[in-house]
Structures are given as structure tokens and as C-alpha cells.
A and B are shown apart, each in its own frame.
Chain A
Amino acid sequence: MSSPSDALPPHAQPSGVIHDIGYRPYSGPRLGDGAVAWSLFVTGLRNCYGLGRSGRSKILPMILIGLMILPALILVGVLVQARQVLGLDSHIVAYSVYPLTTQLLISVFVAAQAPALISRDLRFGTITLYLARPASRTTYVLVRMASLTVATFLLIAAPLLVMYVGGLLADLPPGRETERFLQALVGALLLAACLAGLAALVSAMTTRRGLAVAAVIVVLLVSFTVVSSIQGVSLETGNDTTGEVAGLFSPYTLTQGVQVLLFDSPRATPTPPEGGTMTLIYLAATALTILGSLGAMLRRYRQVA
């Protein structure tokens, strides 16, 4: 501004006043930390399925849910229609085996959604907005993992529900079916927790979403491929123990093994674990995977500004 400054009349003092333009601070009741955590949890869960995000992000989860349920529907349809003809006494594919068969879809889901929940906040710095709120760092990490776990659990459990209802409609013994279904739900929950933990940990290592997606898929796929080749070889050579130990290193075979040990579920891997020691080892490994990834995530987030 190059207009000459106006000289003030000598008797005026500089003063100021803040005008009331209607801004009011909020002094009403505030919900506590629990409500903050709950709303963060629900938002994360909805975001995993594209709700609350752009239209394009809804496509993949919806396609994956569809692809997960479709084979279940077909199997149930066959069961209902051709039960007498084929002499079927139970589901064609057992509850606990279904996630193992559809693992590629589950892996893709986790690989696509974990970075959306975790890497995005790190990349764009919005993490500081979360951490500046009443909820602590720990709460943020736990809630994010919980959202991802529940979202994955819903994906895995949806076809199981379809199978359960279909089984009841096909007049399979309800007591037995309910028991198996609930056991499979436990397995699904463990699987979801393991997958979510691993995927979240990998996603928290990098700010680039594309790389996080690729890394999660690589980890889940390669681990399963390696484990199944080892199990195949150990079955042929009679070294069953090696195969059983190898099963600890992929979440799919790990939770499959837990279900075999605890609930006597049908065996679906070449070298399913057996015996008391194996039970302890498998349970310990599951706990380690879930709690270990949680702990690593907390440590990682301690370093975030």
C-alpha cells in the first residue's frame, strides 16, 4: 500500500474492541472417551466397506462379498435340491474349510482395506488430528485394529451364515449344525484378528498405499505357498512334525490347525496338527500373532509425530 498513512488526531488513543459476531464456544456436556472410541470404530468399519468414502471405493468390497457368498449359495442350493439324490449328510464344504478355500478373496480384501485405514492417515498427516483429540495413541491403534478385524470377520462369516441357514433349510440336524457353525465363527474371529494384525502392521510401515497393498498380498500369499509346499513335501516323506510346525507360519493354516485341535474340525491341510503339545504351541502362536502385531503397532505409532 503506498497511500500515505493518515496521521491520527493527537488526542486519540489506539484502542480495540472485539465485536460479537455470533461465535459461541461450546460449553455443554461432552461425551467421554468411550464415545470417541466407539465413533472412530464405527467409522473405520464403515470405511472398510466403502461407506462414507467415494463411490469407487465401494466397488471392491462389494464385489468381494458377492464372490465370497456366491459359492456358498451354490453349495447350499445343491445341498437343498440334491440331498436325497446324492445322499449328503452334511455340507459339501465344511464350515471351517470354507475360509481356507476362499483365502485369496479374503487376502485381497485385507490387503486393500488395511492401507486405506492405516497408511492414508500416516501419509497425509491427518494422524496428528486424531492424536490431538482426547483419545490417546493407544486407543487409536486399538480401535483401528478392531475396525479392520470386525470388517474382515464379517467378510469371512457372511458365507458361513448363508451355509448355516441353508443347512437348516435342508433339514440337517440343527444341534450339530449350530455347534459347528459357532465353532467356525470362533475360527473366523481368530483368522480375522491374525490377518488384520499382520496387514495393519505391514501398512503402518509405509506411507504409500500401493506399496502397502502389494506388500500385504505378498506376505499372505507367499507365506501360504511356502507353508503348503513344505507340508506337501513333509507328508510325502513322512516328516509330519515338520509340516505341523510349518503350519504355524500362515494365518490360514494356523487358525485351521487351532480349529482341528480344539473342535475336531475336518482336516483340510496335508499335515494337520495333533496332540496336546501341538495344541499349546498352536494356541500360543495365535496369541503371539495377534498380540505381537498389536504391540508392534503401538511401538510404531509411538514414533509418529
Chain B
Amino acid sequence: MSTAVMGTVARLGVRSVFGRRRGVLLFVLPLVLVGLAILVRAMVGQDVDLASGTLYGLGLAVLVPLVALIATTGVLAPEIDDGSIAYLLAKPVSRHAIVVAKLLVAVGCVLAFAAVPMLVAGLVLVTDEPGVGVAYAVGSLAGGAAYCALFALLSVMTRHAVVIGLIYLLVWEGLLGGLLDGVRWLSVTRWSAVIIEQVNDTIEISADLSPAYAVVATALAVVLGTWFTGWRLRGFNLTGDE
């Protein structure tokens, strides 16, 4: 019974993401990545270092978090904002099940619009070494799942989840991550980079973290983010327009 319920929630979630205009962004971003990959390959030929740089700079650091943000907020924020989440919550369904179902939709989007395009881009850039594309795809999925869980928690805690998530990405992961090295302990992108290095030894991103830490940290982010989101939904306040 629980899986059927989660299926309903998931189906509603899919419609929610693609029924609104924000779904368009999900299609555009991976196209930009793959387009760039084709262009670089045409100009430069196969260069593992350049490929890694592109896949990291535009893919892992930009595409993955943005897809996660758009997908996760698309599945949660509009319903919370206009109150229609009451229809999901006024049911004898465990809140954690609802969160997991919605996150599955979001992670599915990450898979389709981030991980797979990363694989394709990697194959386009360095066709001789498919391992590169595969490694980046795996890292993208892991990092994307962590981002989804964290952004889900953000969505149930505040109405300004999109803007705050964006500020976090720009300032913490982007600006400070480039300047300060200590940020890497708490940066999802860095953890994914370490995972990528583990999957494929030929890639070097100088992430300077122990692989065990990165894997555990990513897993913790996913689990704790999901659990706390469900916990917050249990005590969800819904009042009328007054």
C-alpha cells in the first residue's frame, strides 16, 4: 500500500515540475553543457585535462546543483507556497514517505538532466576513455542526491528557498570555495569530486579529502536531509488566508 501511495505522490510531483514553466530550464541547461562539449571537441580534439576542467567547472559546479535546485524546489515549493500541500498531508500517510517520494522525483530529474548529460558530454569530449564520462556521471548523481536532500529541507523551512539556495551556491560553493580551502569539508561539490577521483584514477581534481569522509558525508547529507524534511512536515503549520 505504501508504494502505491508513494507512486501517487511521485506522479503528482512529476506533473508539478514539468507542468510549470520552470521545467523548461531543466531542458536548457544540459543542452548547453553538451553543446559546449561538442564545440570544445571540435576545436581541440581529445584532451583529458581540458575535458575534466570543463566537466568540473560547468558540469559539476554549475549544472548539477542548479538542476537539483530547480527540480527539488519545483516539487515542493509551489505546493507549500499556495497551500495545496494540505491535500497530501491530510492523509494517513507517513510524512517521511511523502518526502522520499518527492525526492525520488527530484533525484530522477538529476539523473536525467545532469548525470546522463555529464556522461554524454564526457563521451563526446574524450571518446577514447569512456571511464571519464562514467566517473563524472556517478559523482554527479551522488552530489545531486545530496543537494536534493538539502534543498528539500530548505524548501520546508523557508519560503525563500530558491534564493537562499542560490546564494549558498554562489557564495559558499562558488566564491568562498575558490578562495578558502577549508570550505571543502562542507562543500558537496568537493565531496563529489573526491568520489569521481575514486571511480576513475586517471582524473585529478586535487580535492584533498579522504575518500571515506567524502562518501560518508554525502550519504549523511542525503539521509539527514531527508529525515529532517519529513520531521518538519510532521509539524507543518497550515492556516487560512487570514
Contact = CB atoms under 8 A, between A and B. Distances in A.
Touch between chains A and B, by CB atoms below 8 Å: yes
A229 B50 CA distance: 10
A281 interface: no
Interface in A186-242: 205-206, 208, 210-211, 213-215, 217-218, 221-222, 225-226, 229-230, 233-234, 236-237, 239, 242
Contact of A237 (B22, B36, B43, B69): B43
B32 interface: yes
B62 A233 contact: no
A8 to B, nearest CB: 41
B162 A229 contact: no
A234 B39 CA distance: 10
B126 interface: no
A214 B43 contact: no
Interface string A235-251: 01101001000000000
Contact of A233 (B43, B161, B166): B43
A205 B78 CA distance: 16
A225 B39 contact: no
Given A213-B163, A217-B170, A229-B58, 4 more contacts: A210-B163, A211-B73, A215-B22, A225-B58
A9 to B, nearest CB: 46
Interface residues of A, number: 22
Contacts of B78: 208
Nearest to A236: B44
B44 A225 contact: no
Contact of A211 (B29, B162, B170): B162
Interface string B25-38: 10001001000100
Contacts of B77: 210
Contact of B25 (A210, A215, A221, A226): A215
Interface of B: 21-22, 25, 29, 32, 36, 39-40, 43-44, 50, 54, 57-58, 62, 66, 69-70, 73, 77-78, 81, 159-163, 165-166, 170
Contacts of A222: 29, 32, 58, 62
Interface of A: 205-206, 208, 210-211, 213-215, 217-218, 221-222, 225-226, 229-230, 233-234, 236-237, 239, 242
A185 to B, nearest CB: 29
A213 B29 CA distance: 16
A226 B162 contact: no
B57 A229 contact: yes
B160 A210 contact: yes
Given A222-B32, A229-B57, A213 B162 contact: yes
Contacts of A233: 40, 43-44, 50
Contacts of A237: 43-44
B61 to A, nearest CB: 9
A242 B166 contact: no
Residue of A205, A211, A222, A230 with most partner-chain B CB within 10 A: A211
A230 B39 contact: yes
Contacts of A239: 43
B179 to A, nearest CB: 14
Contacts of B21: 205-206
A210 B32 contact: no
25 contacts: A206-B21, A206-B22, A208-B162, A210-B159, A210-B162, A211-B73, A213-B162, A213-B163, A214-B165, A214-B166, A215-B22, A217-B170, A218-B29, A218-B66, A226-B32, A229-B36, A229-B54, A229-B58, A230-B40, A233-B40, A233-B50, A237-B43, A237-B44, A242-B39, A242-B43
Nearest to B163: A210
Contacts of A226: 32, 36, 58
Given A205-B21, A218-B66, A229-B58, A210 B29 contact: no
Contacts of B73: 211
A230 B57 CA distance: 12
A226 to B, nearest CB: 6
Nearest to B70: A214
Contacts of A215: 22, 25
A169 to B, nearest CB: 33
Contact of A225 (B57, B70, B161, B163): B57
A239 B58 CA distance: 21
Nearest to A239: B43
Contacts of B25: 215, 218
B32 A214 contact: no
A234 B43 contact: yes
A211 B66 CA distance: 12
Contacts of A234: 43
A293 B50 CA distance: 35
A110 to B, nearest CB: 14
A239 B42 CA distance: 11
B22 A211 contact: yes
Residue of A214, A229, A239 with most partner-chain B CB within 10 A: A214
